[in-house]
A and B are shown apart, each in its own frame.
Chain A
Amino acid sequence: MTNFATLTRMRIQLTLRNKMFLFFSVIMPFGFFFLYAGVIAKGIPRGVRYFLGPVMALTVMGSFWGLSAALVMFREQGILRRFHVTPVTPSDMLASSIVANYVLTLPTVLMEFLLARTVFHVTHFGDLFSAFLLITIGTVSFASMGLVVASVTNTMQETQVINQLIWLPLIFLSGATVPLVSLPQVVKHVGLFLPATYLVTGLQSAIFTAAAPWGPDILLALCSLAVWALLTFFLSAQLFRWEPESKIPRRAKLLAAATAIPFLLLGIWGNKTNRTLSQAQAMFDSFNAPSKPDAPSGNAH
């Protein structure tokens, strides 16, 4: 087996032995799921289906949190130093974090689909292939962002502060908690600069309106998240530090800000064309429309 594969196995083993994992990857996502599906959507299948997108997005995005904390802890405790004297490379280390995280996130996502079906009797899940692609690329890209956070912060405390600062706008300004269209006008415009917005809207389009992967909305979300994932992975490999005492220079932190460029451009474009907002609005209107049977809506196949 390659170093990458054995490291991935180790990361999965260790994560499963960690109680924090249980909270972030199991309890929190299911908490959101039942809150949205049971309370906000009142258990109505059509409503549950509308909110599945945001719930999945939260599950997918939550991954960056534990990932950055684990890597920083590994560095602070001198664990990474030990790997440094072996043939393991920074890319092995980082890629194994991402893949282990993906493998551990999938069961939660599957459980959410399963619960929607069994508990809330949702019969149609739109375009599952689109959803699968978005979940995959979303998990990888947000995990990769977590790796950047780990590489630009020097202490665990700093990491947690940055995580908080990132997490709050991600969940509140992207439509993941409050639907994008119900947000104040200014906030909507800010939301268009966040990767999370494209993930939420994309997942919602896939599940609620059965948007195909080659449709413009899903494609836009997939491509922007993929480019972002590449940028963040490349940067985190460049800035990777094995030693607890090696500190990150200030200008490197600026580089981290540069990974936001794809979404800066996308945000400008989105604000000009209003495309993503009108898509979110259309879905919201459809959700609020006088109750229709739970059948595939939009351009279903």
Chain B
Amino acid sequence: MLYTLFQVAPEWWGATNMANAILEVQNLVKRYGDLEAVRGVSFAVEEGEVFGLLGPNGAGKTSTVEVLEGLRIPDGGRVSVCGLDPQRDSAALKHEIGAALQSTSLPDKLRVMEALRLFASFYKRRRNPEELLKRFGLEEKRNTFYNQLSGGQKQRLALAMALVNDPKVLFFDEPTAGLDPQVRREIYDIIEELKREKKTIVMTTHYIEEAERLCDRVAIVDHGKVIALGTPRDLKAHSGGTTRIEVRLSKPESNGTLKNLEGATDAREVGGTYVIHSKRPPQTIVSLVKHLEAQDNELVSLEISSPSLEDVFIEMTGRRLRD
């Protein structure tokens, strides 16, 4: 039902014909034998925007990005990056893009600085490898062999290498997959800094937190299709997702009465706390306070959590993202 809302209202999520689009995808199709990995994906990315493709593994995110990078030949649709066709103008495009790929590696016995210098040498436009080394916190590792780096250091090097040609568009494919939470936050800081510099970034992720925190706009992808597209805030607002209000009261309360609060859609008791779902949290809270006053009851604690993109995904597909 909501699914159709997103399908019939492409203008709402501004799929195409964006004024400053640096990257456009129209009805992209990609097949591997009998498997149709990408089934008519369309979106556009504005210059200076961080655009996320969010979806479970196998949704077609990586295939989409790899077509944009010129690594895969599309089976249908139209794609343009920096005004270039990734297939026809592949050689020119490669000077304009930078990428941190998924499941990639470097030779074991290549040193960090050598890797940066080597990759910088391939491009017409170059950034100073020394400066990248400093910026990505790899100065101390400059002479370390690639196989002696930790997972986080390898990923920082991958991001630094994506920047060696000062690219117009950056592609980060699952930039934090397989990293522990602390390292993941380090990577977030780096991407946020790039975002402040107004770099255009297209990233894929299956982490909700990542998409909400880093992306200006998100396309939710499932089974090779974009099922929703917009800013994280819009998506959550339009999804009909409800805010979760968790309260503890000094005296027990019957669920029935809490369910009748203004804007509330559901209320239940979970181990001594009351969980209320609301479409209009401010009104619900005001009416809750009034109700408690009338009952001579008191609020002990109150916690509000907004709906996440995960809720949006569940609502639209009936599945959790990481199933």
Check B101–A3 contact: CB distance below 8 A. no
Check B103–A3 contact: CB distance below 8 A. no
Which listed segment binds B: A73-81, A146-154, A218-226?
A73-81
Total number of A residues with any Cβ neighbor in B under 8 Å = 22
Check B101–A82 contact: CB distance below 8 A. yes
> What mask results when residues 1 to 15 of chain A are scored 1 for a CB within 8 Å of chain B, else 0?
101001100100110
A-B contact count (CB 8 A): 58
Check B106–A79 contact: CB distance below 8 A. yes
Check B123–A84 contact: CB distance below 8 A. no
**Cβ-based interface call for A118 (8 A):** no
**Cβ-based interface call for A85 (8 A):** yes
Check B121–A77 contact: CB distance below 8 A. no
Q: Could you say which of A3, A14, A84 contacts B109, with CB atoms under 8 Å apart?
A: A14
**Cβ-based interface call for B71 (8 A):** yes
A85 touching B123 in the complex, CB below 8 Å, given contacts A10-B118, A14-B109, A78-B103: no
**Cβ-based interface call for A17 (8 A):** yes
Check A85–B105 contact: CB distance below 8 A. no
Chain B, interface size: which category?
Answer: 20 to 34
A32 to B103, CA, bound (A): 41
A18 — which chain B residues lie within 8 A by C-beta?
A: 109
Min Cβ gap B200→A in Å is 16
A84 touching B71 in the complex, CB below 8 Å, given contacts A78-B103, A78-B104: yes
A17 — which chain B residues lie within 8 A by C-beta?
A: 109
Grouping DSSP codes into helix (H, G, I), strand (E, B) and loop, the B interface class, with mixed when no group exceeds half, is loop
Residue of A18, A74, A82 ringed by the most chain B CB atoms within 10 A: A82
CB-CB nearest in chain A for B158: A82
Min Cβ gap B177→A in Å is 14
Check A85–B91 contact: CB distance below 8 A. no
**Cβ-based interface call for B99 (8 A):** yes
Residue of B95, B101, B106, B122 ringed by the most chain A CB atoms within 10 A: B122
Q: Within B25-64, which residues are at the interface with A (CB < 8 Å)?
A: none
Check B122–A3 contact: CB distance below 8 A. yes
Check A87–B99 contact: CB distance below 8 A. no
Min Cβ gap A99→B in Å is 16
Check B91–A14 contact: CB distance below 8 A. no
**Cβ-based interface call for B69 (8 A):** yes
Min Cβ gap B123→A in Å is 7
**Cβ-based interface call for B94 (8 A):** yes
Q: Could you say which of B69, B104, B121 contacts A6, with CB atoms under 8 Å apart?
A: B121
Min Cβ gap A243→B in Å is 8
Min Cβ gap B160→A in Å is 13
Q: Residues of B at under 8 Å CB distance from A?
A: 69-71, 91, 94-95, 97, 99, 101, 103-107, 109-110, 114, 118-119, 121-123, 161
Q: Residues of A at under 8 Å CB distance from B?
A: 1, 3, 6-7, 10, 13-14, 17-18, 74, 77-79, 81-82, 84-88, 242-243
16 sampled A-B residue pairs with Cβ under 8 A: A6-B122, A7-B118, A10-B110, A77-B105, A78-B101, A78-B103, A78-B104, A78-B105, A81-B103, A82-B106, A82-B161, A85-B94, A85-B99, A86-B122, A86-B123, A87-B122
